Chain A
Amino acid sequence: MARIGRAAGQVRALAEATCTARRTYGASPVPTLRRARRLRTEAGFTYDEALHTGLLDPAMPDARARRFVSKDAVTRLSDRLNPVALITLTEQKAIFYRVIGETGLPMPRLFGLVGRGGGWAGDGRPVPVGPAASAVFLASGPPEEFVVKPSGGYHGLGVRVLRRDGDELVDLAGARTTPAGLAEELCADPLWDVFVVQERLRNHPDLDTIVRSDTLQTLRVTTFVTDDCDVQVVHAGMKLALGGGNVDNFREGTTGNALVEVDVLTGELGTPMAPAPGGLGLAPARGEVAGTEGVRLPGWDEVLALARRAALELLPCRNIGWDISITTRGPVVVEANRSYDPWPSAVFGDVVREVDRAHRSGGRVAGRTA
């Protein structure tokens, strides 16, 4: 019975993806169905994922669509290269910042932890359970500007970049609250029980030549550690905060932000990509970022050095997607992702397959790596 229910759900998802592709691209249903099925069975794409990555666009040649990689494929690879038993080291930010912060890697300063499970003030005192104690901490603990994000969060959900304005707190989207109101919200959050309170980082001023934004813009730098513990930087991309919110996450194009791949050898930007008209897949971005192709990121060698150093701190995890920001105080590790989302590009698909091959053969990732 359950199997019939699942099959019916799959058929419905396939039909919906095909209909949407037909509406958006004017695509014939039969070739679309065929491609969607092939991407599902051969590469692990869900129908919705294939649709939103733009892979059902008939203008994209079959050979190119096949180079993309699905979330399922990346997760399978990640689970082989990064022990699942160690998942909370990277996925629980409260643990990550405390543990890896002790290694001396540049990271955002941690002011404390709050939430319905109680917390910790950076001065060593516990923040007792309950919103009242959290409100006292939020009112007096962190400085004028700070960031609050769920310890177990992902995709930038629940992140607030706050500054004090009198007795109130204002986030980057202009939403206002008070320490007591924020504490109530955090302690009543149905999804997350612990929130990290940390330093607000600022973009390096040279990044203004690419995008002028108050939102922190991060690079996603993917590393692979070889059998000999040599670290290869195998892919890099940058999230461009065009959307103006609290975060630079892309979330399938729903945030208004854009993406650009970075040449790992030179730190030069590729073609900035934004959600394509119709919202499916990517197209070259227009506007202020359109002319930034070829711009070299500031301090790229330092970014590479930081990624290489950080990768060795997380062994035996071997394949991490690092969120690194180039800030006013140099490159800083913002997060580490052991189950990262695939970068929506054919180049990234090639990289993932090459990492898989290198791991199986005990060799190195071939191609353009640093």
Chain B
Amino acid sequence: MRLGQTLPQLAELGRATRAAMREYGEGPAAVLRRMRRLRARGFTYTEAVDEGLLDPAMPDGVRGRYLSRHVREIRQNVLNPLSLEDFTEEKLTFARYAESLGIPVPRTYGTAGRAGGWNRVAGRMVTGPDGFARMVAEDLADEFVIKPVLGYLGLGLRVLRRDGAVLVDQDGRRIDAAALHAELDADPAFDLFLIQERLHNHPDVDALHASPMLQTSRVTSLVTAGGQVRMLFVSLKVGTGTGGADNYRVGETGNGVAYVDLDTGLLGPALVPRPGRLGPIPASELDGHPIEGRPMPLLAECLDLVTRHAHAFLPMRTLGWDIALTARGPVVVEVNNFWASPHGPLTDEAWDLFFRG
């Protein structure tokens, strides 16, 4: 058993070392030494490579402010009781709660999937493909979103618009309501889907980077032991990839992320995974369209919204709020217990808050 775990680790170490040696022109001893230090801080070898932490040009002070997933999740489990995970992670309960508190969220139209169809708009249950088709035809807006209530990383998300008698998803696939019902019913991973309003980007967000996908801001909050709400970091997810969601998903989606300087309110560069990984590069090197130095739209409104409502989720003390920046103001799309900060070292202040706040 131990050998079974060790061999893949050695293979991963070998791959990561070779990649770093090739990229940075260093000898194996220097790469391995750095790797060992990162491993002691909980980074997997692949994680260290993907984050670009083996780059010898990265100052140790910056490298030291990156959070490994392992260490981050240990601390998140201390700050957020695990048994209450679904308080935020289960999207229907979250939407229901947020609505009742007056937190702006996308309108909930109902649910679908083999576990239960519900037409909230018309006030009836939805059974069978005919009932679902009737709901789509009579009670849903021309555009809507379907996502698993226990989904994550944008998996299973469908952004749909009506085109005559059929629906068209974010990839241009055409499907009728009955076939969509059959797909949702047969989904092997998720048995209940939330149907909700489709939101659109604020014009100022489109002006930064035009994208058909909703580009949300991530506001990461922490309620201190004294009850103060503080922000660990704020970022904007930039829809440089494909698919319906702006999730970064360890760089797999091709989407980017830009961090906000909380002192100035200005955006840093939109970072996207370097081709072949090994850390990020500014997206502008790929598309020639820099956003660095431009003001983050609706930043003050987002911070105010989170500050006013973070207490409502206690004892969950640290949350990553996905907030859509829309023409009607910030709208909270999701809240995450296990937030991450890809390519984003924490500031000294945020580090201190996260571990001692």
Rounded to whole angstroms, the CA-CA distance of A285 and B134 in the bound complex is: 53
CA distance in complex: A54, B81 (Å): 41
Residues of B within 8 A of A226 (CB): 125
Q: Which residues in A have their C-beta under 8 angstroms from that of B311?
A: 124
In B79-96, the 8 Å CB interface with A consists of 79-87, 90, 92-93, 96
**A85–B125 touching, CB < 8 Å:** no
Which candidate, B114-122, B209-217, B247-255, B283-291, is the interface stretch facing chain A?
Answer: B114-122
Q: By the criterion CB–CB under 8 Å, are B315 and A127 in contact?
A: yes
By beta carbon, the residue of chain A nearest B102 is A102
Q: Flag if B83 contacts A89 (CB, 8 Å).
A: no
Is there an interface contact between A99 and B116, defined as CB atoms closer than 8 Å? no
Residue B149 at the chain A interface, CB threshold 8 Å: yes
B125, A118: Cβ atoms closer than 8 Å: no
What 1/0 mask marks residues of chain A from 137 to 165 whose CB sits below 8 Å from any chain B CB? 00000000000000110000000000000
Q: Which of B148, B191, B312, B315 makes the CB contact (< 8 A) with A119? A: B315
Say whether A346 faces chain B, with CB atoms less than 8 Å apart.
no
Which residue of A81, A86, A129, A228 contacts B93 across the interface (Cβ within 8 Å)? A86
Q: Which residues from chain B contact A120 at a C-beta distance below 8 Å?
A: 314-315
Number of A-B contacts (CB under 8 A): 128
B78 at the interface (CB under 8 A from A): yes
Q: Which residues of B contact A193 (CB under 8 A)?
A: 81-83
A125 to B79, CA, bound (A): 14
Is the CB–CB distance between A194 and B315 below 8 Å?
Answer: yes
Q: Does B192 contact A (CB under 8 A)?
A: yes
Residues of B contacting A227 with CB < 8 Å?
124-125, 127
Contact of A99 among B80, B96, B226 (CB under 8 A): B96
Provide the residues of chain B in CB contact with A98, threshold 8 Å: 87, 97, 312
Closest A residue to B85 by CB, please name it: A88
Indicate with 1 or 0, residue by residue over B292-319, a CB within 8 angstroms of chain A CB atoms: 0000000000000000000110110100
Q: Is there a chain A Cβ closer than 8 Å to B74's Cβ?
A: no
Q: Is the interface of A mostly helix, strand, loop or mixed?
A: loop
Whether A92 and B120, one on each chain, are in contact in the complex, defined by CB atoms closer than 8 angstroms, is no
* A225: chain B residues within 8 A (beta carbon): 125
A173 at interface (Cβ–Cβ under 8 A)? no
A112-125: CB near B (< 8 Å → 1, else 0) gives: 01010111100011
**Chain B nearest Cβ from A192, distance in angstroms:** 7
Q: How far apart sit A113 and B97, CA to CA, in the bound complex (Å)?
A: 18
Closest to A127 in B: B315
Are B111 and A83 in contact, CB atoms less than 8 angstroms apart? yes
A330 at the interface (CB under 8 A from B): no
Known: A86-B93, A124-B311, A126-B315. A229 touches B123 (CB 8 A): yes
Query: A315 at the A/B interface (Cβ < 8 Å)?
Result: yes
Tally of contact residues, B, Cβ under 8 A: 45
Rounded to whole Å, the gap between the CB of A314 and the closest CB of chain B is: 9
Q: Is A308 engaged at the interface, CB distance under 8 Å to the other chain? A: no
CA distance A226 to B116 in the complex (A): 13
B90, B113, B149: most-surrounded residue (chain A CB, <10 A): B90
Task: Compute how far the CA of A103 lies from the CA of B97 in the bound complex, rounded to whole angstroms.
Answer: 9
Residue of B nearest to A125 (CB): B227
Asked if residues B83 and A92 are in contact (CB atoms below 8 Å), the reply is: yes
The yes or no answer to B225 lying at the interface (CB within 8 A) is yes
Query: Is B223 an interface residue, CB under 8 A from the partner?
Result: yes
Partner of A102, one of B82, B86, B100, B150: B100
**Would you give the shortest CB distance from B230 to chain A, in whole angstroms?**
12
Q: In the complex, what's the smallest C-beta–C-beta distance from B124 to chain A, in angstroms?
A: 5
**Distance of A197 from chain B, by nearest CB (Å):** 12
The digit string for A182-226, where 1 denotes a CB below 8 A from any CB of B, is 000000000011100000000000000000000000000000011
Q: Is A84 an interface residue (CB 8 A)?
A: yes
Task: Mark each residue of chain B from 156 to 174: 1 if its CB lies under 8 Å from any CB of chain A, else 0.
Answer: 0000000000000000000
Which residue of chain B has its CB nearest to the CB of A87?
A: B86
Residues of chain B contacted by A118 (CB below 8 angstroms):
78-79, 81, 315, 317
Residues of B contacting A291 in the complex (Cβ-Cβ under 8 angstroms): none
B-side contacts of A103, CB under 8 Å? 100
Which residues of chain B have C-beta atoms less than 8 A from A152's C-beta?
A: 83
Report how far A113 CA is from B81 CA in the complex, Å: 11
Q: Whole-angstrom distance from the CB of B27 to the nearest CB of chain A? A: 45
A318 to B117, alpha carbons, bound, how many Å?
Answer: 11
| Closest beta carbon of chain B to A63's beta carbon, Å | 33
B70 to chain A, nearest CB (A): 19
- Complex CA gap A369/B297 in Å reads 56
- Interface check A299, CB cutoff 8 A: no
Name the residue on B nearest A82 (C-beta).
B116
| Alpha-carbon distance between A226 and B312 when the two chains are bound, in angstroms | 33
> Across the interface, which residues of A come within 8 angstroms of B117, CB to CB?
316
With both chains docked as a complex, state the minimum distance between the C-beta of A100 and any C-beta of chain B, in angstroms.
9
A85 and B117 alpha carbons, distance in the complex (Å):
13
Check if A362 is an interface residue, CB within 8 A of chain B.
Answer: yes
19 example contacts (A-B, Cβ-Cβ < 8 A) are as follows A83-B111, A83-B149, A85-B115, A86-B90, A88-B87, A88-B93, A89-B86, A99-B96, A118-B79, A118-B315, A119-B314, A120-B314, A124-B314, A133-B225, A151-B84, A225-B125, A315-B125, A316-B115, A316-B116
Q: A94-B83, A193-B82, A227-B127 are in contact. List 18 more A-B contacts (CB 8 A).
A: A83-B113, A84-B115, A85-B149, A85-B191, A95-B86, A115-B81, A117-B78, A117-B81, A117-B83, A118-B81, A120-B315, A128-B225, A129-B78, A194-B84, A228-B124, A229-B125, A316-B111, A362-B127
Chain A positions within 8 Å of B, measured between CB atoms, are 81-86, 88-89, 92, 94-95, 98-99, 102-103, 113, 115, 117-120, 124-129, 133, 151-152, 192-194, 225-229, 315-318, 362
